[in-house]
Structure 1
Amino acid sequence: MRTVGVEEELLLVDPDTGEPRAMSAAVLARAEREGSGKDVFEKELHEQMLEFATHPQSSMESLHAEIVRCRKEAAGHAGEIGCAVAALATSPLPVSPSIGMNRRYRWMEEQYGIATREQLVMGCHVHVSVDSDEEGTGVVDRLRPWLPVLAALSANSPFWQGSDTGYHSYRSRVWQRWPSAGPTELFGSPDRYHRRVADMVATGVILDEGMVYFDARLSQRYPTVEIRVSDVCLHAETAGLIATLARGLVETAAREWRAGTEPLDPGVSLLRLSAWQAARSGLAGELLDPRTMRRTPAETVVHTLLDHVADALEAHGDLERAREGCARLLRDGNGAQVQRDLMRRTDSLRDVVTECVRHTQA
């Protein structure tokens, strides 16, 4: 059974005002003193962010429990120094992000300018194990048209610098400012994949392989495919759903690769349009159907994804869990819809943030 791990980035905020706070160093220091920081919590580009990584899990129940545990630990450490954590993919309130004191981050600021200074966005990355680079490349090639559906399900960033953006996932639009971000062409073999990555690094536009921000990539550190399209999810159970579907997609793609089934190839230009559509409308309107690249009601596209991965999900005992999770999101809304509902009720972005602090640990 393929293992799955999740990395989540959380926003550090003032518990009373909801304003972002640059306290990641203090939170990390406290976690280290308490003995829970090692191999769990990490610093990120901006000091208003805190990242954690779960251990690989075979059971989705265990993975969900670990996400909940890590969120609670993060909240506990933050609370001890006077701040709180919120699973928000952008800050609804205005913020001037503080870049961490790190040579790598300073290089990025000098290289990319305002794109680095404004890049206070929080994502969710899912690692799914693969047997080899050959299998991993076959998987990456076959995931491409399905990834915008995960982005729509996870969308959790409607507000930016005090305003409603009109998007469900504005984080993904900010993320596209990185020169290496987004969908990829077909690679066909691990040799071609690694050659393309080496050529990108050789340009000097990016610093190293870690800055190859493909929507799905072979991990540098682990024998996994890393899927990088999702907003950090407001609720832990949504993060678990994204991980469940990601494993289903990887297993389905691996089976297609082994069977010699050719990947769908709509081309990078259409994949970019599909990603934009998912960011714009989330689950509230239409998405591009991964098979036809034509506008289709979001609910229909979600069910198309479930049908696509049903055999793999059933083999792992996850099919009913995935169906229930998708039905819940289609009924109750993703994080972006929850945030907008809170704004309509309270007319206060401060209240949106403070309420989302509570949702983060729900």
Structure 2
Amino acid sequence: MRTFGVEEELLIADPGDGLPLALASGLLDAADPSDADPGGESGPSLKSEFKQEQIEVNSRPCRTATELRAEIRAGRELADWAARAVGARVAALATPPVFHATPTAGNQRYATMGNEFGLIAREQLTCGFHVHVSIESPDEGVAVLDRMRHWLPVLLALSANSPFWMGADTGFASYRTQIWNRWPTAGPMDVFGSEDGYRAVLSTLLGTGVPLDEGMIYFDARLSRGHPTVELRIADVCLYAEDALTIAVIARALVETSAREWRKGEPPSSTLTPMIRMANWKASRFGVNHQLLHPLEQRPSSASAVAAALLQHVSRALTDAGDLALARTGVANILRRGTGERLQRQAYGRRLRLSDVVSTAIASTHDFGERSDAGLLSR
């Protein structure tokens, strides 16, 4: 069984007016494990990100969906516990509804990126959802990247959670994708063929002097620099914790399915990279509300048909992991009620107040149905 874990980037916000608050350092101080605060080294951990208005929650590697569900819930509770300590809350919003461009702070590398990339960096307050899945070797990891690349836009559609930007409804389900793709290395990539091919592409890109370092290789999926994992980076942070779990188990099954194809000698995806970009754009624009591009046929198809094709593709791996029922139920729930973007628009539509979007998102971020045993919010 492959281990898997997640990184969730959460927005730090004022629970009253919904404005982002640059308090990441305060959250890290409040959640310092040396002070025996919740989480600590034995559970999910917090980390600063590109902007002080966001915080990253890292789960531990898990073997089962049950373990990962507990990690996601505990991580969100830990982040919110720390935010409450400094007068804020955290919300799983992939873009802030109201925001003004801000400089980066607290990290020399980020400051250098700010100087180099100007407004792209100043406006880069977006929150993603990254799934790490263990691999046996870099060669296996590159084989996986080559064989799952045309399926990744479906994960974007299932996670879409960023309709608002700079106080306006963008018309997109995931406007985070449009903002993120302004970075020069972001998006889908061609087939690499081998680890040597992957490293050659990275070396060529770094040789241009445009990306500052390997950390700025922002492919939709990549080999992790610090862990023996493939890192799927395409998704918005999910408003609902159960949606995050659904996408994580499907991501693990997608990695396993791709690795099995490689071991059988099946060739990499032949889908042209421009077609994957079209699929990403459709997923960003419509989420699950309209037609997407079918990963196999590259033609418009309903979101339900595209999601069904993905589930069929990974069904054997889901079954072997004991996750098939969870994935089917999770996808059905997303298709029925929509992703986080739909709830955001509904919240805004009631009184035309963007602050309502944030307050509703805060509540949904921490609505786990049955309360977890951690009990952090009561502290």
Aligned with 2:78 (options 73, 80, 83) = 73
CA distance in 1, matches of 2:46, 2:106: 17
What is the aligned partner in structure 2 of residue 215 from structure 1?
Answer: 220
CA distance in 1, matches of 2:107, 2:291: 42
1:5 aligns with 2:5: yes
CA distance in 2, matches of 1:187, 1:250: 16
Q: Give the deviation of 1:208 after TM superposition.
A: 1.2
Q: Give the deviation of 1:345 after TM superposition.
A: 2.2
More displaced stretch, 312-321 vs 37-46 = 37-46
1:151 aligns with 2:160: no
The one-letter code sitting in structure 2 at the alignment partner of 1:9 is E
What is the aligned partner in structure 1 of residue 272 from structure 2?
Answer: 267
* Partner SS state of residue 245, structure 1: helix
1:205 aligns with 2:194: no
1:18 aligns with 2:23: no
Q: Give the deviation of 1:196 after TM superposition.
A: 1.1
Equivalence map 1:84-123=2 (5 Å): 84-123=89-128
What is the aligned partner in structure 2 of residue 182 from structure 1?
Answer: 187
Q: Give the deviation of 1:93 after TM superposition.
A: 1.4
CA distance in 2, matches of 1:89, 1:173: 12
**How many equivalent residue pairs?**
362
Aligned with 1:356 (options 338, 341, 361) = 361
What is the aligned partner in structure 2 of residue 58 from structure 1?
Answer: 63
CA distance in 1, matches of 2:213, 2:100: 29
The one-letter code sitting in structure 2 at the alignment partner of 1:94 is F
* Partner SS state of residue 344, structure 1: helix
Aligned with 1:291 (options 296, 308, 315) = 296
Normalising by structure 1, report the TM-score.
0.98
| Cα deviation code 1:313-348 (max 9, x no counterpart) | 000000010000000011111011111111122321
The one-letter code sitting in structure 2 at the alignment partner of 1:265 is S
* Partner SS state of residue 357, structure 1: helix
CA distance in 2, matches of 1:6, 1:113: 29
What is the aligned partner in structure 1 of residue 371 from structure 2?
Answer: none
* Partner SS state of residue 79, structure 1: helix
1:193 aligns with 2:198: yes
Percent of residue pairs bearing the same amino acid type: 47
More displaced stretch, 91-100 vs 237-246 = 91-100
1:330 aligns with 2:335: yes
CA distance in 2, matches of 1:266, 1:4: 27
Paired residues of 1:47 and 1:97 also in contact (CA < 8 A): no
CA distance in 2, matches of 1:89, 1:250: 24
CA distance in 2, matches of 1:164, 1:87: 18
The one-letter code sitting in structure 1 at the alignment partner of 2:196 is D
Q: Give the deviation of 1:37 after TM superposition.
A: 5.6
Normalising by structure 2, report the TM-score.
0.94
1:45 aligns with 2:40: no
CA distance in 1, matches of 2:112, 2:204: 20
Paired residues of 1:63 and 1:240 also in contact (CA < 8 A): yes
More displaced stretch, 53-62 vs 200-209 = 200-209
Q: 5+ residue gaps in structure 2?
A: 368-379
CA distance in 1, matches of 2:140, 2:277: 25
* Partner SS state of residue 290, structure 1: coil
The one-letter code sitting in structure 2 at the alignment partner of 1:11 is L
Q: Give the deviation of 1:96 after TM superposition.
A: 3.2
Q: Give the deviation of 1:15 after TM superposition.
A: 1.2
The one-letter code sitting in structure 1 at the alignment partner of 2:305 is T
| Cα deviation code 1:130-162 (max 9, x no counterpart) | 111111010000111100000000000000011
CA distance in 2, matches of 1:299, 1:267: 23
Q: Give the deviation of 1:34 after TM superposition.
A: 4.3
Q: 5+ residue gaps in structure 1?
A: none
More displaced stretch, 68-77 vs 92-101 = 92-101
The one-letter code sitting in structure 1 at the alignment partner of 2:13 is V
Aligned with 1:165 (options 167, 170, 180) = 170
Paired residues of 1:44 and 1:100 also in contact (CA < 8 A): no
Paired residues of 2:103 and 2:114 also in contact (CA < 8 A): no
Paired residues of 2:191 and 2:269 also in contact (CA < 8 A): no
The structure 1 segments of at least 4 consecutive aligned residues displaced by more than 2 Å after TM superposition are: 33-39, 94-98
